[in-house]
Amino acid sequence: MRIEQLQAFLAVAETGSFGQAARKCGVTQSTISRQIQSLEADLRVPLFHRTAQAKLTLGGEHLLPRVRKICQEWCNATQELSDLVAGKQPELCVAAIHSVCAHHLPPLLQKFCRHYPEVQLRVTALGSDRALKVLKDGLVDIAIVMNNRFLTASPEMVVDVLYNERIEVLMAADHPLTRYQQVPWSELVKYPQVVFKDGYGMQRLVHEWFSRLGENLQTVMELNTLEAFRGVVRQGELIALLPQSALIEAQSDPTLAVRAIDNLPISPASNGYTVSNKPDTSLTRQVVLVTTQDRLQIPPIQHFCQLVRQLQQPTVIVPHLALSHN
């Protein structure tokens, strides 16, 4: 059974004529006749009385309301798909890590809204692993996250590297580690830490880093907002390892201090973070844009991705040495 057969049946039922149905469908009368005959053969019941006027049989009368619904649904579906390809989607959903939501996305969102005012943007701040999960489940169109090759290895995934940024140490302004401009690894491991909750790429990064170095991570608290990190760290000896874009507010807070991490005794890694080969070896995280091949064919999504790719050269990262507090 094909949709053309149902459309032919509906046209004949509504016009009462095979000839008028053919003109309505833009085909020949013989084509309409073949489609009706084929449909009757599939259903094993006659649908029309072949008289001067095509009248529905009992079977045809029972079938008619069902066919109307099917044809209407088909019409709605094809129209929605046409609108989608033409860029007339009602909303665009984005999941991004907190630092990107706070500092990188706002100006891009304004640009997008000017270009596509009829598309409602829905932006949600999520941890990297959770954001990739909801992207795979089809709940969002785009994820801007820390790279995790285990979750982006599917053939349908499109991954664009946006930028790399250094991981640094957040501490209270009077913390013992403030005496260092670059905190030695041997000193860093002595202090208890605050980390992101499960599902956040930064938690995975820190745990993997300590594991590779054979050190025990002294985790005393898990949080999921940057404000909470700042509030907890300023109270005492707790420290947190965070990317530079998550430390922008801390740079201008007199109760907090930010320090770089000294040369790392670790070989290059590849799962969402890197260690540079420069003399001032430093841990960095890689931020990527992730979507799917089919979504990139949709004009609003394609345009949003083009805007996000401007993040390849972030300008909001402030060098910590210029604003560190003693």
Instruction: Report pLDDT digits (tens) over 146-172.
Output: 988 888 888 899 999 999 989 999 999
Residue 92 has pLDDT above 80, yes or no: yes
What is the per-residue pLDDT for 281?
52
Out of 50-54, 73-77, 321-325, least confident range:
321-325
Q: What is the mean pLDDT of the chain?
A: 86
* pLDDT tens by residue, 226-285: 899 999 999 889 999 999 988 999 999 999 999 999 866 655 444 444 444 444 456 889
What is the per-residue pLDDT for 3?
93
Delimit the CATH 3.40.190.290 region(s) of the chain: 164-285+317-323
> Mean per-residue pLDDT for 51-69?
92
What is the per-residue pLDDT for 181?
92
Query: Residue 32, Cβ neighbours under 10 Å: how many?
Result: 27
What is the per-residue pLDDT for 192?
94
Query: Residue 168, Cβ neighbours under 10 Å: how many?
Result: 25
Q: What's the CA gap between 86 and 104, in Å, rounded?
A: 28
Q: What's the CA gap between 57 and 46, in Å, rounded?
A: 7
What is the per-residue pLDDT for 317?
40
Going by C-alpha positions, the residue among 84, 80, 79, 123 that lies closest to residue 295 is 84
**Which carries the bigger pLDDT value, residue 113 or residue 213?**
113
What is the per-residue pLDDT for 84?
74
Q: 164-285+317-323 — its CATH code?
A: 3.40.190.290
Delimit the CATH 1.10.10.10 region(s) of the chain: 3-85
**Which carries the bigger pLDDT value, residue 273 or residue 189?**
189
Out of 108-117, 195-204, 227-236, 278-287, least confident range:
278-287
Residue 95 has pLDDT above 90, yes or no: yes
Delimit the CATH 3.40.190.10 region(s) of the chain: 91-162+287-312
Homologous superfamily (CATH) for 91-162+287-312: Periplasmic binding protein-like II (3.40.190.10)
Contacts of 248 (CB under 8 A, 6+ apart): 103, 316, 317, 318
When pLDDT is cut at 50, 70 and 90, the band that residue 303 belongs to is very high
User: Taking a C-beta distance cutoff of 8 angstroms, is the pair 67, 75 a contact?
Assistant: no
Q: 3-85 — its CATH code?
A: 1.10.10.10
Q: What is the CA radius of gyration of the chain?
A: 30
> 0.75 cut: is pTM over it?
no
